[in-house]
Amino acid sequence: MPDKNSQNLNLTMPVQYLKGVGPAKAAVFENLGVKTVSDLLEYYPRRWEFISEAVKINKAQPQQQCCVIGLVESVDFNNFSRSKIFEVILTDETASIRAIWFHGGFMQKQIEPGMALLVWGKPAVYKHQLQFTNPDFKIIDEESINSAENPGGGVYPATAKLSSRQIKRIISPIVENIDNLVDDFFDRAFCEHAAIVNRKDALKWIHAPEDEEQLKKAKRRLKYEELFLMQLGLALRRYKYEHFSTASAMKADEKLDSRIRNRFPFLLTADQEKAIEDIVSDMEQTRPMNRLLQGDVGSGKTVVALYAALLAVANKKQVAIMAPTEILAHQHFISMERFLKSSKVKRLLVTGGLTGKDRTKITEEIKNGQIDIVVGTVALLQHDIQFADIGLVIIDEQHKFGVEQRNMLRKQLTPHCLVMTATPIPRTLAMTAFGDLDVSIIKHSPPGRGKVITRWVERAKQPEAEEFIRKRLKAGKQAYFVYPRIDSVEDNSDIKAATSEWKNLSKKVFKEFKVELLHGRMTSEQKQEIMQNFRSGKIDVLVSTIVIEVGLDVPNATIMVIEGADRFGLAQLHQLRGRIGRGQSQSHCLLFSETQSQIAKERLEVMQRTNDGFEISEYDLRLRGPGELFSTRQHGLPDLKIADIVEDYELLEMARRDAFKMVKKDPMLTEPNNKKIRKVLLEKFSDSLGLVDVG
Ligand code: ADP
Ligand code: MG
């Protein structure tokens, strides 16, 4: 085992060998993502505290953060209590105050009567006296009693087993050693250009800043570094596919164009036209298309995707269309079928239920090139399916967007790639998560849609709402009832569940109608059958969970009830609501909810007020904050430790410019100054950004 002294300290050393850390604490650290000394240095404080001038002890106030300096009058260590309390009485010329530390055994050796001590924290009244509990402290020279240094600084994200103070004690000696440990990978000219401090200072100051100014500089440097490396990874990835992979260039002409358009029984909207124009000009190149098609539910993305697919098929290439779930894959297949009647294009839906001989036969046909368009889930990529000559891959991500799938794809083949998403993506995110993608946006939905009126309905008004629904059902309309869970659970909450409410609705409330249940635990066949019956109008009321969120397109369904609406997020509510308002007539979305939560109320009000997905996502961003809504990990990117893509937007723009410029000048990053950067990049982000083959 290496010696626990600083001579052996190096960045790759496991934290376990550090002073004050053994196997147990090392395990806790590992849970925090900290394995090595280097990780520890990048375990940044969550917040920083700077204390004001010390006050005289008689000026200390209960519950107010303050700093006092005095002489230690007495110490006491209660070794018999379970929490082993260390106690100090601190005295200055005005008064005395008690300070106690639980589990303070370690302080016994450090603090003796007669020493000068600075104590900093929030005193509270205990047994009629003011007392500090677990305050920060610093032993100071008696001479400097009047000019003691600031003991404030970093407060670390802690756990029950590892306090911020313990973390600080472990990090401090490393920070003090930083000059021997850390090398900057940016040279001086680079730092000057970017107006950032060097890495040593930044790390020193982020952990132990002397003042706000140092902290600001440290943050700027570390945020920039993080954003720059991420953008550099994206820039390299983009460079790679632009220069090293070739796709087959598709030929498009007017004749083909009108042949494809004739399949659609309507005029394309201006936004659809523009998206198609973008896509065609991409697909005419040998450089693989890498485009994101963004548009609200029902905005007409499928039609655009189908255009692209037919263009590829006309060029004798195969097309794979992939959706996140089987329901959605099935839905895509059906909506395509509507446009492909009596077409010679050979298309096929591959589902998980397909096994044995049938599957073998189908995979053979795909491999021989007998099938033109294959629709399935993302499992298409993972399993045994090989294509004879794939020219286009279309991925429908619906709400989530993962870069992984695209990466997996690129390793195997280089078809053109079109990704569809219904998530309205703020500019900042488009720049980070999709930094290597081109983007087309469908903003306006096709005309001739009935309006969707949304109402928040409280318990007392529900019978009224039910009568309203009954009238519409009698008139031949269909309705969705959506619940936050499949089964009810015994937790005293009155959250309604699909299964039990289905019984209530089918046997009592709407017993004169056909009411059926659909949820994610049913088999694929059961689900398909029920959806088919709903589509054909045999079912009047479909009771479901969010599984219907993706996949059904039934214009005659004009009513949606969302039970426990306060339990869904804004984005989810909006997606759900997108299932109605698909036909000509007016639709109604009824949000059943009895909530006291201010945030939930606000969400319901936003839903009543607007149908605009972009507006709703802006609200979502405001109500929930960017962290939760757009965690980079959700989008297949590494989580950022210190930068925030919304808050640090300007720095992000700058880092992006610098990174793309660097790759343009030195695409392999082989210049001596850039080599170091490349090494760090690969260490940090090679897995998460799929850069394994960049180096
Ligand atoms: P998305 O995939 O974006 O959710 P779809 O492509 O499924 O949207 O389109 C939703 C509905 O609108 C479908 O029924 C589709 O046939 C119809 N649609 C698409 N484009 C147009 C258009 N230009 N004019 C009229 N209806 C359209
Ligand atoms: Mg669709």
Non-local (6+) Cβ contacts of 505 within 8 A are: 481, 515, 541, 543
Res 432: pLDDT: 66
| Model confidence at 627: pLDDT above 60 | no
Among the listed residues 52, 319, 10, the one whose alpha carbon sits nearest the alpha carbon of residue 178 = 10
Q: What is the mean pLDDT of residues 293-297?
A: 84
Substitution site in 264, 266, 267, 302 for ligand 1 pocket (most atoms within 8 Å of beta carbon): 302
| Model confidence at 281: pLDDT above 60 | yes
Q: Residues 30, 32, 34, CA angle at the centre, nearest 5°?
A: 55
| Model confidence at 632: pLDDT above 70 | no
List pLDDT tens digits, range 642-672: 888 767 888 988 999 999 999 999 998 999 9
Give the ligand with the smallest distance to the CA of 556: 1
* pLDDT higher at 627 or 585: 585
Rounded-to-integer distance, Cα 154 and Cα 146, Å: 23
Q: Which residues line ligand 1 (CB under 6 A)?
A: 266-269, 272, 295, 297-303, 335, 446, 553, 582
Nearest CA to ligand 1 atom 27: 446
Res 382: pLDDT: 62
List pLDDT tens digits, range 556-605: 999 999 999 988 888 788 888 988 988 888 999 999 998 888 888 889 99
* pTM summary value: 0.63
Res 582: pLDDT: 84
Q: Around ion ligand 2, which residues have CB less than 5 A away? A: 302
Kindly tell me the burial class for residue 561, based on how many C-beta atoms sit within 10 Å of its own C-beta (0-12, 13-18, 19 or more).
buried
| Model confidence at 89: pLDDT above 90 | yes
Res 692: pLDDT: 46
Helices (H) and strands (E) in the chain, counts: 24, 22
Q: What is the mean pLDDT of residues 345-373?
A: 89
Q: What is the mean pLDDT of residues 342-368?
A: 88
* pLDDT higher at 19 or 541: 541
Buried (b) or exposed (e) across 151-188, using 16+ Cβ within 10 A? bbbbbbebeeebebbbbbebbeebbeebeebbebbbee
Residue 689: band (very low, low, confident or very high) from pLDDT cuts 50, 70, 90: low
List pLDDT tens digits, range 194-221: 999 999 999 999 998 888 899 999 999 9
List pLDDT tens digits, range 542-554: 999 887 655 677 8
Give the ligand with the smallest distance to the CA of 331: 2
Res 433: pLDDT: 59
Non-local (6+) Cβ contacts of 253 within 8 A are: none
| Model confidence at 237: pLDDT above 60 | yes
* Residue type (1 letter), 148: A
Extended strands (E) in 504-595: 515-518, 541-544, 557-563, 587-592
CA of 523 to the centre of ligand 2 (A): 23
| Average pLDDT in the chain | 85
| Model confidence at 33: pLDDT above 60 | yes
Res 413: pLDDT: 54
Give the ligand with the smallest distance to the CA of 339: 1
